[in-house]
Amino acid sequence: MESPPQLAVTVAITRRADPGRTAEMAAWVRAGTSLAETFPGFLGTGWVRPEVGSAEWHMLYRFADAEALRNWEESSQRQWWLSSAEGFVEHTRVERRTGIEGWFDPPREHEVDEPGAPVPAAPPRWKQAVTIWLGFFPVSLLSAFLLMPHLTSLNTVLRTMISTLILTPIMTYLVLPRVTRLLQPWLRR
């Protein structure tokens, strides 16, 4: 029997730091990114702050699979990096996600130091596909009637680019959150 494909894992972390120590925090962030980049399976990272002067820093990092993530999270390099921020960085929240099921899971909170926190089980892929289709079909149909008549003079690539630029945020921020909330009992069954 063939083993299931390994799914990439994304970790979202919220950290707090004194807004007066922004330069130190930015240097610490860059150091962590540089270290993570050297690990096999590292796919990328990003940091954002909700607004200028905010104490919160939101970080995402992604590894090719759970084993690559575990190798990073249990590494002596990461432990050294985390310890270098003691006294000015507070670790407040961690979420782990695989694939696209972040759309299907309610937000969870747990402590950063919680050892071996489980990755939440995703609904089966076929249920994810059905859910996406249930949102995508009416949005596409509406687009065919309201948007496409205005784009007929454009070539196919431009028409597709414009429609996906408009439809993707609608799906991501309006449709999928509502559809998944409605279907939550079925998705969890």
Here the CATH number for the domain that contains residue 80 is 3.30.70.100
Nearest of 123, 17, 125, 7 to residue 62 by alpha carbon: 7
Residue 113 domain-assigned (yes or no):
no
Q: Report which secondary-structure segment, H or E, holds 165.
A: helix 156-169
Nearest of 107, 106, 109, 75 to residue 92 by alpha carbon: 109
Residue 38 domain-assigned (yes or no):
yes
Instruction: Report the share of the chain in percent with pLDDT over 90.
Output: 13
Residue 167 domain-assigned (yes or no):
yes
Crossing angle, helix 76-83 and helix 22-37, to 10 degrees?
A: 180
Is there a single domain that holds both residue 66 and residue 32?
yes
pLDDT band for 74, please (50, 70, 90 cuts).
very high
Is there a single domain that holds both residue 62 and residue 31?
yes
Residue 115: pLDDT over 50: no
Is there a single domain that holds both residue 164 and residue 132?
yes
Residue 119 domain-assigned (yes or no):
no
Is there a single domain that holds both residue 136 and residue 67?
no
Q: How buried is residue 50: exposed, middle or buried, by Cβ count under 10 Å (0-12/13-18/19+)?
A: exposed
Is there a single domain that holds both residue 92 and residue 150?
no
Residue 102: pLDDT over 70: no
Residue 108 domain-assigned (yes or no):
no
Mean pLDDT, rounded, for 54-71: 87
- Decide: helix, strand or coil at residue 88: coil
Which range marks the domain in which residue 178 is found?
125-188
Instruction: Report the share of the chain in percent with pLDDT over 70.
Output: 83
pTM score of the predicted model: 0.51
Residue 50: pLDDT over 50: yes
Residue 79 domain-assigned (yes or no):
yes
Is there a single domain that holds both residue 23 and residue 90?
yes
**In this predicted model, which residue has the larger pLDDT, 17 or 91?**
17
pLDDT of residue 117: 46
